[in-house]
Amino acid sequence: MQALKDRIVNEGKVLPGNIIKVDGFLNHRVDCAFMGEIADAFAERFDINNVDVILTAEASGIALASICAYRWNKPMIFAKKAKSDNIEGGLYKSEIMSYTYNKKVTLLVSKQWLAPRTKVLVIDDFMARGEAVRGLCELVGEAGAELVGVGIAVEKGFQGGGDRLREMGINYQALAVIDKATPDEIVFRADED
């Protein structure tokens, strides 16, 4: 998606440790109109009519996933990241490593809201090593639901998460795959289509 690549180049910032900051439009201050354009780009790549629910993980995936779900007239579930008092028993759980916070966290979805055979499209704003998406896919499997696909806005291609999903034969679509990021240069992988 060229408009997304342009914004990453023009507004993104590369920090030490290969951290790519796009928090001016994607995951802190969110350009919600642009999230609508990203939703349209996903809709060109997935058969949205074949989707029952959008699944993401808190927190930063929620903005993009909500606007996708709103445009497509679907419900959206966000997996929670810690056990709060407001979630009762009956949970699907998947433990993942959060490299952002450098600790293990458990993704939780209430069994009540993710029924077997539900057709699930996973949406997230960012993928690096792919731990959050791996956990979300696990939750879909635990529920006996069907994973229709995984859509990611920005993939850090050099950290392996996306390639692992591609090898698994999942219908995986990333709109901007960054193969190299230095303070001087951001290099994108050529589009497959």
The separation between CA 164 and the C-alpha centre of its own chain, rounded to angstroms, equals 15
Among 5, 7, 81, 134, binds a copy of itself (CB under 8 A): 81
101 interacts with a copy of itself by CB under 8 A: yes
| Residue 66 interacts with a copy of itself (CB under 8 A): yes or no | yes
Does 49 sit near a copy of itself (CB under 8 A)? no
- Between residues 36 and 41, which has the closer beta carbon with respect to a copy of itself? 36
Respond yes or no on whether the N-terminal peptide bond of residue 59 is cis (omega within 30° of 0): yes
Q: Quick one: which of 45, 27, 75 has its CA closest to 148?
A: 45
115 is an interface residue for a copy of itself by CB under 8 A? no
Nearest distance in Å: CB 169, a copy of itself? 28
Of 117, 108, 144, 138, the C-alpha closest to 52 is 117
By CB under 8 A, tell whether 77 contacts a copy of itself: yes
Q: Does 80 bind a copy of itself (CB under 8 A)?
A: yes
The C-alpha atoms of residue 95 and residue 78 are separated, in whole angstroms, by 15
β-strands 19-21, 13-15 pairing: antiparallel
Identify which of residues 83 and 166 has a Cβ nearer to a copy of itself in the complex.
83
Compute the distance between CA of residue 50 and CA of residue 111 in angstroms, rounded to an integer: 21
Query: 66 with 38: CB under 8 angstroms?
Result: no
Q: Does 113 bind a copy of itself (CB under 8 A)?
A: yes
Give me the least distance between CB of 190 and a copy of itself, in Å please: 27
Distance (Å, whole) CA 13 – CA 136: 28
Give residues in contact with a copy of itself (CB under 8 A): 15, 17, 19, 21, 23-24, 28-33, 35-36, 53, 58-60, 62-63, 66-67, 69-70, 73-78, 80-82, 84-88, 100-102, 109-110, 112-113
